[in-house]
Structure 1
Amino acid sequence: MTDSVNRRTAASQKRRRLTAAAAKVLHEQGVERTTLADIAREADVPVGNVYYYFKTKDELVRAALSEHSAHLDDITERLERLPDPLDRLKALVEAWVGRRDTAARHGCPTGTLAVELDKRTDGDLDAEAGAVIRRLLDWAAGQFRELGLPDPDGLALTLVAGYQGMSLLANALRDPEVMTREGGRLLRWLDSLRAA
C-alpha cells in the first residue's frame, strides 16, 4: 500500500512540475516554438514521461492555462485579505509592476498566450485563455462594485486593458520602465475614483 501511495505522490509531483514548466516555457517561447522536449528539460523529467501525462502539445497548453488560472486564484485570494477593495486593486497593479522585468522580456503570460492561440485555426484553446482573462475582469469588477462605483464592468475593462497595454508595450520596447510609469498612472487613476 505504501509503495502505491508513494508512486501516486511521485506521479502527481511530476505532473505538477510538467504543468509549471509548460506555463513557464510557453510564456517565454510561445506555443509554436516550444517543443515537448523543452518542457521536459525545464521540468527535469525524461521527454518520454511527458507523453505519459500529456498526449499532445494542446494538452500541455491547456495545463499551462490551468496554471495561469491557479496563479490568478492565488493572487486574488491574497488580495482578498486586504480590507479595502481599492487597496486590493492597487496591490494588484503593484504586483503587475513588480513583474516588470518579466513583462519586458515576454509580455503578460495569459495575454500573450491568448493572442497566439487566437491565430490558430483549430481548437478552442483561445477561448480557454480568454476565460482566464474574463475571471480577472470579473474579480476586478467585483472590487469596483464593492466600492459602489458606477459601471464596475467598464472600470474593470479599463484596468485590465491598461495592464495588457503596458505589458505589450514594455515587451515590444524591451523597457520595463513602461510598466513602472504606466503602473503609476493606473494607481493615480484608481485614487481619483475614490476622490470623485
Structure 2
Amino acid sequence: MAAAAEVVHRQGVERTTIADIARAADVPTGNVYYYFKTKDDLVAAALDEHSRQLDALVEELERLPGPRERLVALVRGWVEQRELAARFGCPTGTLAAELDKRAEGGLDAEAGKVMRRLLDWVAGQFGELGLPDPDGLALTLVGAYQGMSLLANALRDPEVMTKEGARLIDWLGSLPGGEEG
C-alpha cells in the first residue's frame, strides 16, 4: 500500500502500472496482481495508505498539549514536506483532483473522505480554542495548504511552502483562544 501511494503520487493514476508498484515495493509483479486486480484496486490501496498516514499524523499531533500547538505542528509538518510538494503537489489533493477527472470508479469520493477527515480534525482544534466558525477556519487553513502545495508544485519552488507556512503559523498565533501560543 505504501508503494502504491508513493508511485501514484509521483506518477499519477493514469501513468502508474502494476509493474511500477512491484518495482517500488521490490516484489514480483505477480504478487502485486494477486492483491490488486485492477488499477482501481491500486488507487484504493493508495487512498487507504493516505488514510493510514493521516491517522498516524493525528495520533502524533494529539500528543501535543494544546490545539494551537497541534495546528502549528501540522503546518510545520507540511513545510517539512516542501521538496516533495514542489515536485509532486499534495499527495491527497493531487490524487483527489486527478480522480475527479475520471469518468468511472467513484474513487474521487473516497479521496474526498480523507480530506474531510483532515478538515474535521482541524475544525476540532479550532473548536477547542473556542473560536467561532471552526469549520470555516478549518477550510481556511487546509485550503491555504492546498493552495501553497499547488503553487509550490506549479512553480517548482519549495520556498513557497516555507514562506506561506510561516504566514500560517503567524496567523495561528494571532488567533484568540486557549492559553498556549
TM over 0.5: yes
Q: Does 1:178 align with 2:174?
A: no
| SS at 2:99 equivalent | helix
Indicate the residue corresponding to 1:115 in structure 2. Answer: 97
Equivalenced residue count is 178
Indicate the residue corresponding to 1:71 in structure 2. Answer: 53
Q: Please say which structure displays the higher CA radius of gyration.
A: 1
Q: Does 1:101 align with 2:83?
A: yes
The TM-score with structure 1 as length reference comes to 0.89
Q: Which has the higher contact order (CA 8 A, sep 6+)?
A: 2
Cα deviation for residue 192 of structure 1 reads 1.1
Q: Does 1:21 align with 2:3?
A: yes
Match of 1:143 among 95, 119, 125: 125
Cα deviation for residue 77 of structure 1 reads 0.5
Quick one: distance in 2 between partners of 1:69 and 1:174? 26
| SS at 2:175 equivalent | helix
Match of 1:155 among 137, 141, 146: 137
Quick one: distance in 2 between partners of 1:163 and 1:130? 15
* Percentage identity across paired residues of the two chains: 75
Q: Deviations over 1:10-29 (max 9, x none)?
A: xxxxxxxxx11000000000
Q: CA RMSD in A?
A: 1.1
Quick one: distance in 1 between partners of 2:147 and 2:4? 24
Quick one: distance in 2 between partners of 1:92 and 1:186? 10
Quick one: distance in 1 between partners of 2:86 and 2:33? 32
Q: Deviations over 1:139-163 (max 9, x none)?
A: 0000000000000000000000000
Q: Does 1:194 align with 2:155?
A: no
| SS at 1:120 equivalent | coil
Extract unaligned runs of 5+ from structure 2. Answer: none
Counterpart of 2:116, as a letter, is: R
Indicate the residue corresponding to 2:20 in structure 1. Answer: 38
